[in-house]
Every structure is written in C-alpha cells, then in structure tokens.
Amino acid sequence: MTALIKRLNQERQGLYYGWRIVAVLAITTTLAYGVLFYAFSVFIEPMEAELGWTRTTISTGFSLALFVSGFGGLGVGWWLDRYGGRALMTVGAVAAVLLLFAWANVYDPTIYTLIWIGIGMAMATVFYEPAFTIVANWFTLRRGRALAIVTLVAGFASTIFLPLTNYLNEMLGWRHAIMALAVLLGIIVIPLHALVLRRRPEDMGLSQDGIEHPSADVSVGKPKRKPITVGEALRTRSFWVITLAFGAVALTGVGWRVHYLPY
C-alpha cells in the first residue's frame, strides 16, 4: 500500500520534486556566494577611501567570517541530520540580509568585525555544505548528476556578481550597493528556501530519485555502508588528509580571489 501511494504521488506530480530542489539550490547558492563571498573584493578600495581603515582591518573581518563558517559547519551538520535544511537555510538567509544592511551602515571597525563574524555564521547555513546535504537526501542513483548541477551553476557566481557589484558600486556607492545586493538576496533566496525546500522525499510520500529502489539494503548496486560517527571519522587518516588538502587549497585560493581586484 505504501509503495502504491508513493507511485501515485510521483505520477501525479510529474517532474520529480528533487529536481525542483536542485534548481532552487543552484539559484540560491549562486546568489549566496556572489553576495557574501565574491562581492567583498569590490568594496575593499572604496571602504579604504571613505573610512580610512587599513586593508588589514578590512580583510580581517572577512577572514574571521570564513573561519567561523568552517567551524560553524559542525553545528550545521548536526542540525541538518536531525531537522533538515529548510528552516536553517531560510533563517540563515534572513540573518545574512540583516547583517548586510548592518555592514552597509558601519563606521566602527570593531562593529564591522563583529558583523562579519555574524556573516560567517550565515555563510555556514547557505553555502555548498547544507545545499549538498539536502540534495543527497533526495538522490541516490542520480546524486552525482544532481550535485554537479548545483556546483556548475553556482560556479558562475563570480562571473555574474563581480561585474554586477562593480556596476552597482560605481552607480550607487559602496554602501547603497551592499543594500541593493541585500535586497536581491532577500527577495529571491528567502522565499525559495522557505517555500520549496523539504527535508527528504519520504516526508512527501516519494522515493529517492523518484523511483522505487530494488532493495532498501542496496544503493547504486553496492552493499549499504555502515554509517560512522564523528569520533570514528576523526580517528581515520583519510579524514585528516582530505581536511588538510581542502584547507590548503582554500588558504591559497581565497587569498588571491579576494585581493586580486584591489591590487
């Protein structure tokens, strides 16, 4: 009976709902990276000119945001496992918008740094990591394709938002440009997260990939692996090799991405 209900729901809906989630996350992740990550480099020079702050002061806030975002992923992962990403990513987007408006009205370097620490927490809720977790909950056989779509589309964040941010900065000034980006983030990302995201297909009477899998114990033609705990992962060599590799890439890559425009 349960299988019949799932099949009827899937036939009635036509396009598998998971693909709608993929489309939404491709759009919202592009906006999140464009506004919260890539746009920053455009504002370094105008902030220096108006506020008289050093580039070190300005960059420190952004660096702390990335640091907080990385460690915030631990709490985000815990939440996603228990409650899903809909509320988390919606609230994170709301927080990001409010913090962007705060940044646009900042005059004190200490307040500026605190704002960016808050933005770092918001980053942890709207960047790739929670998006990938949600997508993975909806797909098994087609998981690679679904994740590739989100990654590919969001990869255009810099291509879109660097020239857009520069245009807004030249037309409006850096403060109003940030406000404009905040509005763009708010009117698109918040409603999409709130209205479309769902935790898992089973909550809607659907199956992963939109099809009935032959066995609950088989995934992609292989025996189902036993989940490992965080403590077990931390004791594996593979975890630390992957972590250090990604950390090294991020450390070297982010630095020049942020500063190549000012220089």
Task: For 84-113, give the DSSP string.
Answer: -SHHHHHHHHHHHHHHHHHHHT---HHHHH
pLDDT recorded at residue 228: 74
Query: What share of the chain has pLDDT > 70, as a percent?
Result: 86
Predicted TM-score of the model (pTM) = 0.85
Architecture of domain 15-206: Up-down Bundle (1.20)
pLDDT tens per residue across span 101-121? 999 999 999 999 999 999 999
Bridge partner list, 223: 218
Q: Is the pLDDT confidence value at 246 over 90? A: no
Query: Mean pLDDT over residues 124-142, rounded?
Result: 95
pLDDT recorded at residue 255: 67
Q: Is the pLDDT confidence value at 3 over 70? A: no
pLDDT recorded at residue 118: 98
Cα(125)–Cα(101) distance, rounded to whole angstroms?
18
Give the number of other Cβ atoms within 10 Å of residue 50's Cβ.
12
Mean of all residue pLDDT scores within the chain: 88
pLDDT band at 263 (very low <50, low <70, confident <90, very high): low
Task: For 241-252, give the DSSP string.
Answer: HHHHHHHHHHHH
Structure tokens at 27: 């759009």
- What are the domain boundaries of the chain? 15-206, 227-263
pLDDT tens per residue across span 89-99? 999 999 999 99
Exposed / middle / buried, residue 4 (Cβ in 10 Å: 0-12, 13-18, 19+): exposed
Exposed / middle / buried, residue 199 (Cβ in 10 Å: 0-12, 13-18, 19+): middle
